[in-house]
Structure 1
Amino acid sequence: VALGHDRRHPEPVAEVAPQRQHQPAGAHRGQAAARLVTRLAEGRTGVHTTVVPAPLWPAGVFRAGVEEDARLTVATAQDGRTTVCLATPARSTATGDPADDGLCTRLAQATVLAAEPLLMYQVERHVALTLQRSFLPRPHKLPHLPGVDIVARYVPASEQAEIGGDFYAALRTRDGVLTAVGDVVGHSLDAATVMVEIRHALRAYCVDESDPVVLATRLDRMLQEYHPDVTATVCLTLLDPGSGRVRIANAGHIPPLILRDGGGARYADACGPLLGLGLERPPATECRLHPTDRLLMITDGLIETRGIPLTTSMEQLRTAAAGAPAGLDGLCDVLLGCFGQDREDDIAMLALRLG
């Protein structure tokens, strides 16, 4: 049984060798053993060995239903916060062979060296997820925007993948409704932090500006000034609910998909350089939404797959969206069902129509 513990978290982490049949009681034994190891390691550094008498060691850890003394080799990482324990039945080392001691010590030291960065990654991933979920509006709590119906979806990457910087926004401006979907390049806590800055900067700029090209230019300058080594993609749309006129500024992102009544679907002809490069931005692309039309914006996490050209994935999305049921929720749910399972990147999605 190997027990790992990061002192930044109140609960220890336990990995117990599986029995022939999985039993919930085994998990409880593992947690009890981990708590005992935590108490033994408190205030100590380096590697030390001790024997825990059977009455103090959870029965059945080594063999189901059997009480045994436990020989523990506890190693603490240099940061003083990560502890790993190698536990064996004391009877197996009763000979006291120094070679056995050295083997257990080296194994415990190697394990703690491997566990330390893993636990640090878990902490960083948790912080990044917390940032994203704290600063992105809940899909069911999007602001009420007169004349427009909007739904959004956000799905973090699978547990095995890193956190990215995907975001979405829906904002009221003096000239209509501004929507944005974007992605900070990279997968780390830094990407999530820059995502928050971009989103807040966009909200601030919208107070006195609504032109999507101007907003993209300002975001580009902000990244160059404060994050010169970071790039991001974003697509901005400004919709006038009264006329249905849409102006689009695209910075290296997947363009919006416009779904017409009757099943037709096409991507808006909108492109432009990434944010953070300081390149000249092209004029806005214009189109018009009819009352029965829908506009869909996504991040590439929904469809990007290794080994498959993005253009191929975009065409698959266009075909699936064209055949999706009417309505915004149905559209998003169908696309997530088709493309959104066990993705390696975060997914942000925003769909709207005239209300």
Structure 2
Amino acid sequence: MSPRAGKPGPTPHTLAFVESPVQLLNTLEWAHAHAPTLRTEEGPGAGFTLVVLSPTDPMTRGQLRRMAELAREEGHEVRWEEARGGPAAPFQTIGGLTSLLRRARRVVMGDPFSRYVQLLLTITRARELVVVDDGTATMEFVGQLSRGERLVRWHRKGGRPGPRDLLFAPVSSSARRRLTPGGDRGVEVFSSMPIEETPRGVTVTANDFSWTRARFGPPRITKGADMVGTSLVETGVVDGDRYLEAVKALAGAHGAARYFAHRRESAEKLHRLAAETGLEIVRPDLPLELIARRGPIGRTILSFPSTVVHTLPLALAGTDVKVAVCDIDPAWLTENASPRAQGFLSGVTGTARDVHRLSMVRAV
């Protein structure tokens, strides 16, 4: 695939930026929900330009390429940017996008915490900004915007900002101002997550995964249980040994046979899980919502606190699949975990609808 795949077309009213498969999925869900408006603005086919700011992780890149194929099938132009392909890549990417950014009337983004996206926001003159789900981080983003706080990911350890944070602070502050409604500038949050603090002037639109349900399934349901992996070890929140013991205990208690790995889970960790738990490790080629909807999928899906405890019940609505979530024991947290980690993870579980709560397993 060439760096800028897709047929050139007229300047789009809508320009979308994604950096992960889930962001791209939720951009397609947003487009499906707003199809009448897009048909009017963009013309026949209701397509717009979707820019993939490609990461370097092979698993993420693979899923993004599969999602890009689906986006093209839906009539959207996909522009693939090797945005992290070397020291000069950011300058080349931003330079190549500047003209589009300045002419676009609406910008859709999947990760307002991304420094790349924040930098692009300083260029655009778009009067409409849309934030689509990037998982549980959306909950934190909306809360921080409501409280007027600087944009910081929830799993980052508290304390003083580092040198890079201080250097980037003016850009981050500018992005936060751009994401605050005012004058003729509107902000929409398109989310399947529970949002309790809605910033003044922000429009919140519910993502019910109607595109996913229309496009895939219903799935074939097996009798057993499947488990969903998490990257909490990789982000430094949960101790690796404790996590392995918890997975082993949970899988044994519920007879799980398969473990759907998160795209950020390390190969070493997954090898240990396979060897010590006997679980079949599955590396999905698409976001789990689509994998589950295509099937086959277990009658019970086991998960620790993560985005999927909110999204899977929506994607699997109308089926007999049960999503069960197990809380994180505070003893599993690392000494480097953010002071906010336990409260945030508990909130992810506590606000989930249509899930079964499991007793906390004890990892020794």
Q: Report TM bin, short chain.
A: under 0.3
Computing the radius of gyration over CA atoms, which structure comes out larger, 1 or 2?
Answer: 1
Which TM-score applies when normalising by structure 1? 0.24
